[in-house]
Chains A and B, each alone.
Chain A
Amino acid sequence: MDSNAPPHSPDLATTQSWMMAAISAPRGLPEGLARAQKAYGWEIEDVIVAPPGISPHKRLDIYAQGYWLRLFACLKADYPTLQRLLGEPLFEFFARAYLTNHPSRSFSLYDLGNGFAQFLKQSQSASAKAADNGALNFPLDLALIEQAIAASLRATGLEGATWQTVDPHDLLLGGNVEVQLPATTRLLMANHPLSVFLQWFDGNDPSGQAESRPSYICVKRRHFRVSCQELSDWQYHFLLSAQDTARPLIDCANNAARQTQRPVHEILALLAFWLPAAQSESMLELRRNAAENPDGADEKQ
Chain B
Amino acid sequence: MSAKQQLKEPRLGLPNLGFGVGLRTQHLPDIVSGGARVDWFEIISENFMDHAGYASQVVDRLAGELPIVMHGVSLSIGSTHPFNRDYLDKLKKLADRVRAVWISDHLCWTGLGSHNSHDLLPLPLHEESLKHVTQRVHEVQDFLERPLVIENPSSYVQYRFSTMPEWEFIARLAEATQCGLLLDVNNVYVSAHNHRFDPEHYIRALPHKQVVQIHLAGPTHCGEYMIDTHDAPVPSRVWELYALAQALTGGVSTLLEWDAQIPDYPDLLAELDKARRLMSTGELPPQAGVAESSLLDGQLPPLSTPIDFQLGHFPDEEKSIALHGF
1/0 contact string of A1-45 vs chain B (CB within 8 Å): 110111001111101110110011000000000000000000001
Interface size on B, residues (CB 8 A): 65
B156 part of interface (Cβ distance < 8 Å): yes
B23 part of interface (Cβ distance < 8 Å): no
| A128 to B74 CA separation, bound complex (whole angstroms) | 40
1/0 contact string of A137-164 vs chain B (CB within 8 Å): 0000000000000000111110100000
A58, A78, A111, A224 pick with most chain B CB within 10 angstroms: A224
Q: Which residues of A contact B121 (CB under 8 A)?
A: 16, 19, 63
| A70 to B307 CA separation, bound complex (whole angstroms) | 7
Q: Which residues of B contact A111 (CB under 8 A)?
A: 50
A-binding segment of B160-168, B200-208, B211-219 = B160-168
B-binding segment of A46-54, A188-196, A240-248, A289-297 = A46-54
B51 part of interface (Cβ distance < 8 Å): yes
A-binding segment of B143-151, B230-238, B312-320 = B312-320
Do B307 and A48 have beta carbons less than 8 Å apart? no
Do B118 and A16 have beta carbons less than 8 Å apart? no
| A126 to B105 CA separation, bound complex (whole angstroms) | 47
- Sorting the interface of chain A by its residue count into under 10, 10 to 19, 20 to 34 or 35 or more gives 35 or more
| A46 to B300 CA separation, bound complex (whole angstroms) | 26
1/0 contact string of B107-123 vs chain A (CB within 8 Å): 00101101111110101
Q: Which residues of B contact A172 (CB under 8 A)?
A: none
Contact A11 to B161, CB < 8 A, known contacts A74-B307, A157-B52, A224-B323: no
Do B301 and A12 have beta carbons less than 8 Å apart? no
1/0 contact string of A49-72 vs chain B (CB within 8 Å): 111001010111011011101110
A101 part of interface (Cβ distance < 8 Å): no
User: Which of B49, B164, B225 sits near A1, CB closer than 8 Å?
Assistant: B164
| A258 to B196 CA separation, bound complex (whole angstroms) | 73
Q: Which residues of A contact B124 (CB under 8 A)?
A: 9, 12, 15
1/0 contact string of B126-158 vs chain A (CB within 8 Å): 101100100000000000000000000000111
A97 part of interface (Cβ distance < 8 Å): no
A-binding segment of B10-18, B63-71, B79-87 = B79-87
Give A1's nearest chain B residue, CB to CB: B162
Do A106 and B116 have beta carbons less than 8 Å apart? yes
Contact A109 to B46, CB < 8 A, known contacts A104-B116, A154-B52: yes
Do A63 and B305 have beta carbons less than 8 Å apart? no
User: Which of A1, A16, A226 sits near B158, CB closer than 8 Å?
Assistant: A1
Do A56 and B305 have beta carbons less than 8 Å apart? no
Give B51's nearest chain A residue, CB to CB: A154
Q: Which residues of A contact B306 (CB under 8 A)?
A: 73
Give A3's nearest chain B residue, CB to CB: B163
Do A15 and B159 have beta carbons less than 8 Å apart? yes
User: Which of B57, B114, B128, B305 sits near A159, CB closer than 8 Å?
Assistant: B57
Distance to closest chain B CB from A102 (angstroms): 11
Do A105 and B304 have beta carbons less than 8 Å apart? no
Contact A2 to B304, CB < 8 A, known contacts A51-B196, A157-B52: no
Do A74 and B311 have beta carbons less than 8 Å apart? yes
Give A227's nearest chain B residue, CB to CB: B319
Q: Can you give 8 A-B contacts (C-beta < 8 A)?
A: A12-B80, A50-B158, A56-B157, A62-B227, A63-B119, A104-B116, A104-B117, A110-B50
